Structure 1
Amino acid sequence: MKLNSYDEWSPLKEIIVGSAANYTSHDRELSFDLFFHDNLQSKSEWYYPRLTSASDRNREGTPRVRTTHKIKDRYLDELNEDVEGLAESLRSLGVVVHRPMELHSSTSEVTTLAWSSAVVPPLNLRDIALVVGDEVIETPPMLRSRYFETQFLKPVLQSYFDGGSRWTVMPRPLMTDRSFDPSYALSSAGGPMEPIFEAKPHLYDVGLEMMWDGAQCLRLGRDLIVNISTDNHATACDWLERHLDGRFRVHRVYKLSDSHIDSKLLALAPGRLLVRSRDVVDYLPASMKNWELIVAPDPIENNFPKYEDDDLILTSLYIDLNVLSLAPDTVVVNEACPELIRVLEARHFQVVPIRHRHRRLFGGGFHCFTLDTVRAGGPETYLD
């Protein structure tokens, strides 16, 4: 079947659900700490430059640039159970579910001209690709460990291409230290423990580059709302505007969040937004300011597993706002968030509760874990 996905809510026909196979660790380095800045700032030791002790230096006396954070096996086992449960639940609801290739245990590292990093599996698919109508666009990653992650989608994307869909790859960044714009991290509350004044030079420096995830985009038919927080995002948005010119309209919002827009709002139906707070409307285009706002309830800490001090938390307590719409009146919600379920049911949504325990450790909810490829909707115009 050909790709056909223009919005976040039309009746869902086909979807790709991510894989957590052989997820073992997080690679702490510059791109990781910049990306997860908002949720790491209370315990983050920034990679460059940083105060280092003798134990932090290698044999040559230079600071280590990577730290591997091992994830406990219990969390990984339960993550795999929940991801497979999501895929099976969607199949039981009549949705065609595709899966990426699994990360093999022998594939431990990715190496480029400028750096090397550990590899993570294709779990949060919403970040690495954007589906706009009959086209899938592979997006330039903001994390080095995800540089080749779209390769795991190759068999699925090839099948859609064979069916007549468009398949595009945005330019890949070199991702040297000087490729990153640290301005958001430097200016936001808390800031790095040690300010990044000057990035380490590299022979392949080309200046600031485009880096941008598909989850920074809210799709509303012919209109795309794109979050911009850094020059890396802005450059990628320039490319997106030129590439989609004449087919879609791109509307920029600035610093709605650090990166992903679906951590602050999701469109559940035409004219209806699920939002973290009413302040979100201040960032939106004028023609969206009269949309109905469904404000998510404040999260309750008892709804989350208790973690130990050495567990790395990657999301805020608002992660359960990251829901997946099956239709304009039907939403998949984490069963551990009964408060949100009640709010949505009071607004006449049918809620499908599904288990997802360790969403704070793996950086995503149901919207993040999936990439909807075929919906019943078309290129409608919802904004003036």
Structure 2
Amino acid sequence: MHLNSFDEWSPLKEAVVGSALNYTSHERELSFDLFFHDNITRSEWYYPRLSVPGGTGSGGQKSGRVPIKQRYVDELNEDLEGMVQALEALGVKVLRPMALAPESTEVRTPAWSAAVVPPLNIRDNTLILGDEIIETPPMIRSRYFETQLLTKVFAEYFRQGARWSVMPRPLMTDASFDLSYAESATAGGPMEPIKDPQLSPYDVGFEMMFDGAQCLRLGRDLIVNVSTDNHALACDWLERHLEGRFRIHRVHRLSDSHIDSMVLALRPGTLLVRSKEVADFLPEALRSWDMIVPPAPGENQFPRYEDDDLILTSPFIDLNVLSVSPDTVLVNDACPELIRTLEQHKFTVVPVRHRHRRLFGGGFHCFTLDTVREGGPEEYLR
């Protein structure tokens, strides 16, 4: 089918589901700590900053790398296959990225090197707008070349007539990052500063860095979360690139980056939101939409982890649902309260298992890239 995806809820026909094959570790370096700072430094979990970047620890492990236990990866891959089966049972054609080769352990540029990760949260580094693929500038160094593992998928859509654009790639030296959000945010919990940026001969100042998951797609309208100068520069690029085709509405600091565990559009006129306060950040035209606020998640909805397991997301990650149609939603089967709430609002809920979402930084919306939906460039905010 031809690439066509304008919103978050129209009947889903084709989607890419991410891969976790050969996921071995996270690397604690500046871009990783900055991206996940709300949870690895501002929650009930506390992880001291790892020192001596590039050094070697016990067992030959690079000192910045935090290994992931293989059983978690195996169970994640089982859950991903369950998600694929659930989508196919609903009539969705599922595409997959190329698997990360086991020998590909590091990504390196002239300015830095980092441990590489597989293409799991594929919502992040790509934005689908109508008939266009836009590869976005990465925010985490380890994901710098991640979209290359989607090249087969993108090339086939391009052959069928899709547009294919790549936003400018940042150099990503320490000086490239706007640290103001991390330095000024007031979330509770122990705080470990993001500090000690190192000088580099490749410094050019702040650069555009931006994830597709910072966008809420509503036909011709795009709600974009902007929390740093990095985001703002990327939003400037999007406004110029999309002029005349899409309207961009900036919301400021709704979250540190991604919008899709704060607010999701389930169908025209209905939003799933973390709290009523989310409305205060949204454009006026969206504040009249119905807002579903589910009960807060309970501790019993998550596996218990060991002290050396790195928690990357808030307990609200399960709001990260995937709409298959305006009345059908994929939801984590560990969330009975959320399921009941959606059913009370006349949604058909498809429960799917996803155990380790807090370890791998994503839910069903994060793990998918919807490439073909039936909807078009409708006017929802007029």
Give the drift of 1:200: 1.4
CA distance in 1, matches of 2:349, 2:54: 52
2:49 and 2:7 map into 1 onto residues whose CA distance is 38
Residue 44, structure 1, aligned to residue 47, structure 2: yes
Q: What is the aligned partner in structure 1 of residue 378 from structure 2?
A: 380
CA distance, structure 1, for counterparts of residue 262 and residue 73 of structure 2: 26
| Counterpart position of 1:279 | 277
- 1:355 corresponds in structure 2 to 353
Aligned to 2:4: 4
The alpha-carbon deviation at position 46 of structure 1 amounts to 3.8
Please name the residue that 2:148 is paired with.
151
Distance 1:195 1:304, change over 3 A: closer
1:241-256 map, 5 Å: 241-256=239-254
1:90 corresponds to:
87
CA distance in 2, matches of 1:227, 1:191: 25
Q: Quick one: which amino acid aligns to residue 347 of structure 2?
A: F
Q: What does 1:170-249 align with in structure 2 at a 5 Å threshold?
A: 170-189=167-186, 192-194=191-193, 196=195, 199-249=197-247
Structure 1 position 56, deviation (Å): 8.5
Which residue in 1 is equivalent to 2:256? 258
Shift of 1:188: 1.0
Shift of 1:73: 1.1
Structure-2-length-normalised TM-score: 0.95
What are the equivalent positions in structure 2 for 1:74-153 lying under 5 Å apart?
74-153=71-150
Deviation at 1:88, TM superposition (A): 1.6
SS at match of 1:88: helix
**Aligned residue runs from structure 1 range 337-356, under 5 A:** 337-356=335-354
Q: 1:56 to 1:259 in 2, by over 3 A?
A: closer
Note the C-alpha offset of 1:31: 0.2
For residues 280 and 194 of structure 1, do their structure 2 counterparts lie closer, same or farther at Cα, with a shift above 3 Å needed? Answer: closer
In structure 2, C-alpha distance between the alignment counterparts of 1:178 and 1:66, rounded to whole Å = 22
Q: Secondary structure at 2:217's aligned position in 1?
A: strand
* SS in structure 2 at match of 1:233: helix
Give the 3 Å change call, closer, same or farther, for CA 107–283 of structure 1 in structure 2. Answer: same
How well do the aligned residues superpose, as a CA RMSD in angstroms? Answer: 1.7
Contact 1:186/1:192 (CA < 8 Å) preserved in 2?
A: no
1:21 aligned partner: 21
Match of 1:62 in 2: none
Structure 2 CA distance, aligned partners of 1:316 and 1:170? Answer: 29
Q: Which amino acid aligns with 1:43?
A: Y
Is the 2:29–2:53 Cα contact (8 Å) retained in structure 1?
no
CA contact (8 A) 1:185 1:191 kept: no
> How far 1:263 moved relative to its partner?
1.3
Shift of 1:353: 0.5
- Match for 1:269: what amino acid? R
Cα shift at 1:336: 0.6
Partner of 1:232: helix, strand, or coil? Answer: helix
Letter in 1 for 2:48: E
Deviation of 1:195 after TM superposition, in Å, equals: 5.5
* Segment drifting more, 339-348 vs 183-192: 183-192
8 Å CA contact 2:120–2:367 kept in 1: the answer is yes
Aligned to 2:364: 366
1:339 match: secondary structure:
helix
Q: Work out the percentage of aligned pairs sharing the same amino acid.
A: 67
CA contact (8 A) 1:11 1:327 kept: yes
How far apart, CA to CA, are the structure 2 residues paired with 1:287 and 1:318?
25
How many Å separate the matches in 2 of 1:36 and 1:348? Answer: 35
8 Å CA contact 1:6–1:375 kept in 2: the answer is: yes
Q: State the distance in 2 between where 1:370 and 1:296 align.
A: 23
Whichever residue aligns with residue 21 of structure 2, its letter is A
**In the comparison of the two structures, how many residue pairs are matched?**
373
Distance 2:146 2:54 in 1: 30
Which runs of 5 or more residues in structure 1 are unaligned? 60-64
SS of the residue aligned with 1:360? helix
